[in-house]
Amino acid sequence: MTSTTAPIPLKTIVIVGGGTAGWIAAAMLARFVPRATKIRLVESDAIGTVGVGEATIPQIRLLTAALGIDENAMLAATQGTFKLGIEFVDWNGPGSRYMHAFGAVGRGLGVVPFHHHWLRARAAGLAAPLGDYIASARAAADARFDRHPDLAYAYHFDATLLARWLRGLAEGSGVDRIEGRIVTAHRDGESGDLTSVTLDDGRTVEGDFFLDCSGFRSLLLGETLGVAFEDWAHWLPCDRAMAVACETTTPLLPYTRATARPVGWQWRIPLQHRTGNGLVYAAPHLSDDEAAARLLANLDGAAIGDPRPLRFATGKRARFWDHNVIALGLASGFMEPLESTSIHMVQSAVARLLALFPSADDTGAARDAYNRQTHGEYDRIRDFLILHYHANGRDEPFWQGCCDTPLPEALADKIAQFRAGAILTQDATDLFTDPAWLQVMIGQGITPATWSPLAEGLSEAQLDRFLGEIRARHAALAASLPDHAQMIARQCAAPSR
Ligand code: FAD
């Protein structure tokens, strides 16, 4: 009989890159990996970070909890605000708007999900818009916020300040930061594993495990190990963004806004000291100069600085963990910021790594599971984003092209099920839950042919009362909350204000 023996710890983990991905990984590893393993992070100030990435989803609070972060202190340090969801404007045709708010939609009755009752009530002329039955959407509409068990929330923050703040946290926990530009990566002649990286001043940094957080360049996984990139431009056609900040306006909205434009869409992210804006567009349809002009013409306040162009490719790597390298963040792939998923994907990848953590004599047993789970997460998020583009109600050539593009099979099935009988079935790897899919499908004009026969159990009077109670409760909750800006001023104002 063989015996179970203690694992041999990794000696050194080298993190390449100090953007949001690198410093999230560094802070988490410093917290959870025993001190026998050294953690070193190499970054180059000369190269810098992508510098955008300011909106998050509620799962970010798992990260702050895991790191033992004081939420108020973090928001004060990053000019942060609260986020209750995303308002989508003009996606289902000019003048349309809906909210994808965080948290539950209404409440189920018996075994029947809420939306079946709502669809029945809507057909009978008894229902208010879906957002009236979602606590977060109701509070968002009034620009009110406080921490409350019924409100699911996330944050907006300044991405550069966040990386700086995380760096302080990680360095305080023993992470060794090395400044310098990596020029070469070295592999073991036999195993092909990475052994070290060399900097432009000749220094060498050795490690037995590497996290590639080098951004779009994917220095280790893409360039050194040659792992291919799977391009999704045919499904998600935007490949550029033009970003500019502008002065804040009142009220301070506790949500992101995503406004559809003739080509692509524009984000609006309110922070304490400024509002972040960006136009996401497709190069074949719009020049950079035209994109900058359109962005500047559609700001709520005076622009701060000049618009900054960003180029990206939408897609993922064929493997995320190859040999002794895991890519995180932009080095692993990218999907545009429509549902603010990138930072979450860094955090969930780090959680997955910790759950499957290798030892120095790792046999690669965990690699397949890691790659399978990460592919699943990527593919389901991709489908959710494609839904926004596909089910649009606009008539410009760019948007017509999005309607006409054949869908991935799983998404086509999901839409067909919803159209047929308002059926929503969540896949285990899907980050987005049924309430999220429901809000976007309804908001973008997908109308189910019918609802569950089980929803017929209530009389019309009972149905009316049931919906009315939920609506009244959410309205009362919203009315009881402080104004978002006042709440921030009291609890987490940035020092310079
Ligand atoms: P980067 O920020 O690019 O960092 C790369 C690091 O690698 C840098 O420190 C750099 O110095 C270092 N590096 C590179 N090459 C070398 C080298 N040779 N030697 C040494 N160091 C090197 N995400 C969200 O969650 N929400 C959003 O709202 C959101 N909006 C976005 C909008 C746009 C237009 C884009 C493009 C992205 C957005 N993202 C968003 C994604 C988010 O910005 C990134 O996922 C996140 O910042 C992680 O970036 P990163 O750390 O992987 O890469």
217 in contact with ligand 1, CB cutoff 6 A: yes
What superfamily would CATH give domain 12-50+158-230+315-362?
FAD/NAD(P)-binding domain (3.50.50.60)
Cα angle value 276/340/431 (rounded, 5°): 170
Residue to mutate (ligand 1; options 23, 42, 52; most atoms within 8 A of CB): 52
Question: How far does the centroid of ligand 1 lie from the alpha carbon of residue 211, in Å?
Answer: 14
Contacts for 480 with CB less than 8 Å, ≥ 6 apart: none
Residue 117 contacts residue 129 (beta carbons within 8 Å): no
Query: Which of 47, 203, 328 best tests ligand 1's pocket when mutated (most atoms within 8 Å of CB)?
Result: 47
Ligand 1 contact, 333 CB (< 6 A): no
Atom of ligand 1 nearest to the CA of 55: 28
Distance CA 390, CA 431 (A): 20
- Segments in 309-433 forming alpha helices (H): 342-355, 365-390, 397-404, 409-421
Among protein residues, the one with the nearest Cα to ligand 1's atom 15 is 214
Cα(52) to centroid of ligand 1, in Å?
7
Backbone phi, then psi, for 277, in 5-degree steps? Answer: -135, 150
Residue 292 and residue 242 in contact, taking contact as beta carbons nearer than 8 Å: yes
pTM value? 0.96
270 lines ligand 1 (CB under 6 A): no
C-alpha distance from residue 104 to each of 131, 134, 141, 435, 470 (Å):
11, 6, 16, 6, 12
How crowded is residue 420: how many other Cβ atoms within 10 Å of its Cβ?
Answer: 11
CA of 482 to the centre of ligand 1 (A): 35
Fold match, 12-50+158-230+315-362 / 55-71+81-153+240-311+381-497: yes
Does the CB atom of residue 443 touch ligand 1 within 6 A? no
To which residue do tokens 């990984």 refer?
A: 25
Ligand 1 centroid to 454 CA: how many Å?
48
Do residues 386 and 411 make contact, with C-beta atoms less than 8 angstroms apart? yes
Q: Is 361 helix (H, G, I), strand (E, B) or coil?
A: coil
Probe target for ligand 1 pocket from 50, 201, 308, with the most ligand atoms within 8 Å of CB: 50
Domain ranges of the chain: 12-50+158-230+315-362, 55-71+81-153+240-311+381-497
**What is the helix (H) or strand (E) element at residue 51, kind and residue range?**
none
Burial of 408 (0-12, 13-18, 19+ CB in 10 A): middle
Q: Which of 23, 24, 19, 21 is nearest to 49 (CA)?
A: 19
pLDDT averaged per 10 residues in sequence order, the chain, 497 residues? 87 96 97 96 93 92 95 96 98 97 94 96 97 98 97 96 93 96 97 97 97 98 98 97 96 98 98 97 96 98 96 97 97 96 96 95 86 96 98 97 96 97 91 97 97 96 97 98 98 85
| Cβ 80 vs Cβ 254: under 8 Å | no
CA distances from 306 to 245, 293, 314, 346 (A): 9, 11, 25, 29
Mutate to test the pocket of ligand 1, among 14, 28, 49, 340 (most ligand atoms within 8 A of CB): 49
Q: What is the CA radius of gyration of the chain?
A: 24
In the prediction, which pLDDT does 1 show? 61
- Say if ligand 1 is within 6 A of residue 312 CB: yes
Architecture of domain 55-71+81-153+240-311+381-497: 3-Layer(bba) Sandwich (3.50)
Asked whether the CA dihedral 361, 365, 368, 374 is positive or negative, the reply is negative
| Residue carrying structure tokens 């090395």 | 178
- Nearest-atom index, ligand 1, CA of 51: 2
Tokens matching residue 81: 């605000």
Parallel, antiparallel or unpaired: strands 38-43 and 176-179? parallel
Which residue has the least CA distance to atom 46 on ligand 1? 20
Q: Classify residue 124 by burial, with Cβ atoms within 10 Å: 0-12, 13-18, 19+.
A: exposed
Half-sphere exposure of 225 (CA within 13 A, CB side): 29
Query: How many angstroms is it from 215 CA to the middle of ligand 1?
Result: 5
CA angle at 267 for the pair 261 and 336, rounded to the nearest 5°? 90
For ligand 1, atom 38, the nearest C-alpha belongs to 53
Closest protein CA for atom 21 of ligand 1 = 43
